[in-house]
Amino acid sequence: MDLRIDRESPVSLYLQISGGIKQLILAGRLPDGFLLPPERRLADSLGVNRTTVVNAYQQLKADGFVDAHVGQGTMVLPRRPKEPEGKPAQPLAWRQLAREGAAREPDPLVRDLLALTERRDVISMAVGLPAPEMLPLDAMGRIHARLLAERGAEVFLHSPTEGVTAFRDAICRHMVSRGIQCTVPEVLVTSGSQQALDLVARAYLAPGDVVVVEEPSYFGALETFRVAQARLMGVPADGDGMRTDLLENLLARQRPKLIYTLPTFQNPSGSVLSLERRRRLLELAYRYQVPVVEDDPYSDLRYEGQTVPSLKALDPSGYVVYLSSFSKILFPGLRLGWIAAPRPVIRQLALTKQSVDLHSNTLGQWMVERFITEGLFSRHLEASRTEYARRRDAMIEALEGEAAEGFTWNRPQGGFYVWCTYPETVSPSALMQEAAQEHVAFLPGGASFVGDPGQNHIRLNFTYCEPARIREGIARLMRAYRAVAAKPRSAERLQGGTPPIV
């Protein structure tokens, strides 16, 4: 046993001996079951008192490294964590340990309702998903096999934080079809758009910073900004998107850090910001020097009407940080989205991403790169548009056929959602409960607002279910609505205002 002691050291001899033996055990040089030399022999060989070695062995025993039995000597124990003695007096209060502002639990009613959407017997119009049967499984299977044959292990290895270069290049080419010119260094691949929102928040928002959003807005983004402890300021929106006539006052007074907007086929309302308002929004952003985050996962899905250029396409001055995603058209589980922005922004966000997940899924990036480059993406997009237009029409026709008094809806020209409005006299939570009884699910509108929505809303997705299921879903929803509308809401709850659903 190679053990040395230093008589000049201020550390006592027994601790030097026990420390040296611990190091030998941890380095694997004294295996499990190894018998340490008898105390007297080790004392003689080191030239120390026997008591010093006895103390060293006792220390090793107390630290769980060895065990000793009379007549058997002192033996190295297998290394396993020492069991704590007894149980803690109280369980750890994990909820209280979470940092202030960390993500909140959703309202139990909403959580249960969303859980319902997993069940086959429930018709879910609550989700924001593409139609599973439209997804190009065969083509992806072939691409996958070819990639493994051609590139081997490379597709499973690390890739640059900014993204696989060929994939970033394919994204740039795809964005040309959206009227956006950008180069590879201006693109950062993200693990879905949700990560893009998180990176923007981490890199640019400090607690208390003001973020301007249109109302309603994407619930997931509002949550991300809340977790960053930003102060959300809502600007009302109508059928033409954010009311830019109300924006200037807010910019002048609040000096926000960011404007977050979904100009095209908005989630949840399906609205499109008019060209005139897009220009006005940019003018105001320039005047008040506020960056604009444009969230655009849906603009490829236009079913009718004239294309309106994105804010990014209208912005030569580098104020717009553009976010998009493959989740709504291809596989959401691939978790692939991207940010297109000026180079300093991409550099900053790539540094931020490095501390979050190093890089996005390498294999997924290669697969989607092939899918785009082989021309399959544009064909798949065309097929999706045709099918989703059919599903939207099925939903609108079903609503027209089943229309209940006071229940209204819009007719979006693209995207995923129909936005419905109903009177304040009908309780949103009662409607949700009744809908659950009818085995139909939708997204309640309350969570999409920063403040009081003033009216009741629900968001209905029309891409996920086939037309026959959509028709049945609307029939069930309207049965639930009629049942709830027939029982007026209690006066007490109305006076208290609509309780926030989430």
Ligand X SMILES: Cc1ncc(COP(=O)(O)O)c(C=O)c1O
Q: Assess 473 for contact with ligand X (CB under 6 A).
A: no
Q: What string marks each residue from 278 to 317 as x (binds ligand X by CB under 6 A) or -?
A: -----------------x-x--------------------
Rounded distance, CA 330 to CA 317, Å? 31
Distance of closest approach, residue 297 Cβ to ligand X, in angstroms: 5
Residue 79's H or E segment, with its range, is none
Site size for ligand X, by CB under 6 A? Answer: 14
Give me the least distance between CB of 431 and ligand X, in Å please: 22
Distance CA 464, CA 443 (A): 14
CB-nearest residue to ligand X: 192
Site for ligand X contains 128 (CB under 6 A): yes
| Residue 73 vs 220, nearer CB to ligand X | 220
Q: In angstroms, what is the minimal distance from the CB of 493 to ligand X?
A: 31
The distance of closest approach from Cβ of residue 23 to ligand X in the complex, given in angstroms and rounded to an integer, is: 48
User: CA distances (Å), 221 to each of 111, 129, 227, 232, in order?
Assistant: 18, 17, 10, 11
Find the shortest distance in angstroms from Cβ 380 to ligand X: 17
Q: Which is nearer to ligand X, 24 or 235 (CB)?
A: 235
Q: Which lies closer to ligand X via its Cβ, residue 224 or residue 429?
A: 224
Question: Quick check: 325 binds ligand X (CB under 6 A)?
Answer: yes
Nearer to ligand X, 356 or 494 (CB): 356
What minimum distance in Å lies between the beta carbon of 404 and ligand X? 28
Cβ 193 to ligand X, closest distance in Å? 4
| Interaction mask 199-238, ligand X, x per CB under 6 A | -------------------x-x------------------
Two tokens, residue 384: 């999706």
Count H helices, E strands: the chain?
Answer: 18, 16
262 interacts with ligand X by CB under 6 A: yes
CA distance 186 to 172: 9
Q: Which 3-state string (H, E, C) describes 124-161?
A: ECCCCCCCHHHCCHHHHHHHHHHHHHHHHHHHHCCCCC
Per-residue burial over 106-141, b = 16 or more CB atoms within 10 Å of its CB, e = otherwise: bbebbeebeebbeeeebbbbbbbbbeeebbbeebbe
In whole angstroms, what is the distance from residue 107 CA to residue 181 CA? 42
- Of the pair 310, 325, the CB lying nearest ligand X is at 325
Closer residue to ligand X in complex, CB, 46/189: 189
Q: Fill in the per-residue mask, 157 to 196: x = in contact with ligand X (CB under 6 A), - = not in contact.
A: -----------------------------------xxx--
* Smallest distance from ligand X to CB 298, Å: 7
Q: Under rule CB under 6 A, which residues in 353-392 are in contact with ligand X?
A: none
3-state DSSP assignment of residue 292: strand
Give me the least distance between CB of 325 and ligand X, in Å please.
3
Place of tokens 């994204």: 171
Candidate list 337, 364, 444, 445; residue touching ligand X; CB under 6 A: 337
Shorter beta-carbon distance to ligand X: residue 299 or 362: 299
Which value, to the nearest 10 degrees, does the dihedral of the CA atoms of residues 102, 107, 112, 118 take? -50
Of 62-70, 325-333, 373-381, 454-462, which segment contacts ligand X by CB under 6 A?
Answer: 325-333
Q: 193 vs 463, which CB is nearer to ligand X?
A: 193
Sign, CA torsion 480/486/487/488: positive
260: which strand partners? 213, 293
Q: Contact between 461 and ligand X (CB under 6 A)? A: no
Minimal distance, residue 335 CB to ligand X, in Å:
7
To the nearest whole angstrom, how small is the minimum distance from the Cβ of residue 428 to ligand X?
21
Q: Is 415 in the site for ligand X (CB under 6 A)?
A: no
User: How many CB atoms are located within 10 Å of the residue 155 CB?
Assistant: 19
Report the Cα 71 to chain-centroid distance in Å: 62
Which CB, 76 or 330, lies closer to ligand X?
330
Retrieve residue 238's tokens.
Answer: 């109508």
Are β-strands 440-441 and 337-340 bridged in parallel, bridged antiparallel, or unpaired?
A: unpaired
Residue with Cβ nearer ligand X (419 or 481)? 419
Distance in angstroms (rounded) separating the CA atoms of residues 337 and 418: 24
Q: Are 415 and 266 in contact (CB under 8 A)?
A: yes
- Sort residue 327 into left (φ over 0), alpha (ψ -120 to 50) or beta: alpha
Burial class (CB in 10 A: 0-12, 13-18, 19+), 96: exposed
74 is a contact residue toward ligand X (CB under 6 A) = no
CA 136 to chain centre: 24
CA–CA distance, 191 with 86 (Å, rounded to integer): 43
- Smallest gap from Cβ 194 to ligand X, in A, equals 3
Q: Which is nearer to ligand X, 128 or 445 (CB)?
A: 128
Please say which residue, 52 or 269, places its beta carbon nearer to ligand X. Answer: 269
Query: Would strands 123-124 and 440-441 be described as parallel, antiparallel, or unpaired?
Result: parallel
Residues that bind ligand X (CB under 6 A): 128, 192-194, 218, 220, 262, 267, 295, 297, 325, 327, 332, 337
